[in-house]
Amino acid sequence: MVALFVGGQKVGTLADAEQLIPVLIGEGKVVEFREETGGRRLGTLTPEAAEPFCPWEPTLTLEEARKRITEPGGMTLAEFRKRLGKA
C-alpha cells in the first residue's frame, strides 16, 4: 500500500490523494509517496512557486492591496490621466 507523507508524518493513503493533494499543494507542502510497510520513498510531489500577487511589487499582500483600495486620498483613473496631461 502507498501512503502520503508531509514533513515525515503520514497524512493519508493513495486512496485519499484526490482530496488531499490539491489542499497540500495549495499550502505549499511537499508530498512524499512512500511504501506504507517499509517506508521506502517512491516519489515526491513538489509544488511550483506561485507567481507573486503583484509582479511589480512582489511583497504586496492581498490584505495590503485591499487596504490601499479602501484608503481615502487616492485618485480616479481620470484624475491620474489629467495629472499626466493625457486627459
State pLDDT tens for residues 54-72: 888 988 888 898 888 888 8
Strand partners, 2: 35
Q: Give me the pLDDT at residue 87, please.
A: 62
- Domain with 29, as residue range(s), is 2-45
Grid cell digits, residue 82? 489629467
Strand partners, 31: 45
My answer on whether 21 and 55 are in the same domain is no
Question: How many domains is the chain built from?
Answer: 2
pTM above 0.75, yes or no: no
My answer on whether 39 and 56 are in the same domain is no
Strand partners, 13: 3
pLDDT digits (tens, 9 = 90+) for 2-16: 999 999 999 999 999
My answer on whether 66 and 84 are in the same domain is yes
